[in-house]
Chain A
């Protein structure tokens, strides 16, 4: 199974939770910008995680999802799970 990229993750977030008000300003630093600064809350993360679980057939740990602070952290969680499935 292919791994999720930052661009794909942000596209999923946009569909699930809209465009965070800090996304445009984050530029190249986006993967390490906190979700809070990007404008995403815990609901946005839960909605996104549920979508990834369905689309990629993976299981993510609930606490780890809401504790992810940046896109990079969430990606590594997802891609770790994707590897397990593969």
Chain B
């Protein structure tokens, strides 16, 4: 079997950019969308900045019933899924439900809705024995984030394999990798796959405050996310979703679909080291990159672009730079590497899919998005991080990587389909 799998539709909801078109404009302009938190009063928190989406679910076409029962994470996912289906030109009527599936990645699921409901049933944290009479009927959907996948499946009309993948901050790569695997093995013809997270809530801010993972640079919100910069001091929390239509190459060609990119290879490894820490040598990420390249039958020098995890924490950016050198050798110094979390923050489980979208769009437009806010290079991070300004350059093959709490390390290679056809 081992069918070739391509992306034929993209849908995005990202900070300051609802829809794929606006998302690409933001990335190409190198414009940070980070700001002082507006969702709640951030003043009790160490880190008070985030990359928020100005997202009105009703304006984006959801019904009042959907808005009521769906957590924000699900709303973002459904709106993205609709866009990617429209973009793919697939007619829902033409989809065979039994051969269509859904995989959605999310690191923290319906955490916003859960916290809101918790505050109600516990009377503001006063009652350990929370009051069942105040529980909303859809509380269980917040409790188990498989509800996100279920809503998407209903939206798409999928009756094949459906699941939520939750591997922390690599969820958005792993969900697409999982969906590709399902098509390759023949379990589905079309998968709607991607990731969503909406974590900007007090409990998330508090838990990252406690481990000093998020930046305390509150005085310059637009310049708060600084991957690979010498002055970086933590990531900026974000939110968003990116969802794709994935199908077999022949399936796409037969219907004359526009093909953004082929998923050439995907691999994941674990560092088995620490729940939040990274071994400085980057060996497991390098191993994942090697495996993804091998699957794609590409060598490092075939890569035109590397989309970094680039979270802007001290340890991540060092770890990742080491991994690129370990895996790509001297070519690591020659390939453009950029970190778009400098603009859209770190949306945990969603970011991997948002970064896949960035790679596919970079291929589409022949433009490499920059690393914003990179003014003072860190001597320990000495690669070409495409600082500040986008670069016009053809992209035929791109690598994107992710790294997450729990030790997850993932890598995906995207190619123009004509490249791997050779």
Contact = CB atoms under 8 A, between A and B. Distances in A.
Q: Do the two shown chains form a genuine complex with each other? A: yes
Interface residues of B, number: 7
A42 interface: yes
Please classify the interface of chain B as helix (H, G, I), strand (E, B), loop, or mixed, using the class held by over half of its residues: loop
B135 interface: no
A50 interface: yes
A62 B212 contact: yes
B211 A46 contact: yes
B277 A46 contact: no
B274 interface: yes
A78 to B, nearest CB: 17
B210 interface: yes
A32 interface: no
Closest 3 CB pairs of A and B: A62-B212, A46-B211, A50-B210
Contacts of A62: 212
A46 B274 contact: no
A46 B212 contact: yes
B212 A43 contact: no
Interface residues of A, number: 8
A41 interface: yes
A41 B210 CA distance: 15
A35 to B, nearest CB: 13
Contacts of A46: 210-212
Most chain-A Cβ atoms within 10 A of its Cβ — which of B210, B212, B275, B277?
B212
B276 interface: yes
Given A42-B277, A43-B277, 5 more contacts: A43-B211, A43-B275, A46-B211, A47-B210, A66-B212
A9 to B, nearest CB: 19
A41 B277 contact: yes
Interface in A25-45: 41-43
Nearest to B275: A43
Contacts of B276: 43
A58 to B, nearest CB: 16
A25 to B, nearest CB: 22
Contacts of B274: 41
A75 to B, nearest CB: 21
Nearest to A62: B212
Contacts of B212: 46, 62, 66
14 contacts: A41-B274, A41-B277, A42-B277, A43-B211, A43-B275, A43-B276, A43-B277, A46-B210, A46-B211, A46-B212, A47-B210, A50-B210, A62-B212, A66-B212
Most chain-B Cβ atoms within 10 A of its Cβ — which of A42, A47, A50?
A42
Nearest to B209: A50
Nearest to B234: A62
B237 to A, nearest CB: 18
A66 B212 CA distance: 10
Contacts of B277: 41-43
A60 B274 CA distance: 24
A41 B275 CA distance: 11
Nearest to A63: B212
Nearest to A65: B212
Contacts of B210: 46-47, 50
Interface in B274-292: 274-277
A42 B314 CA distance: 14
B405 to A, nearest CB: 11
Contacts of A41: 274, 277
Contacts of A66: 212
A81 B283 CA distance: 39
B21 to A, nearest CB: 41
Nearest to A47: B210
Nearest to B274: A41
B43 to A, nearest CB: 17
Nearest to A50: B210
Nearest to B46: A62
B155 to A, nearest CB: 40
Interface in A41-61: 41-43, 46-47, 50
Interface in B236-280: 274-277
Interface string B201-213: 0000000001110
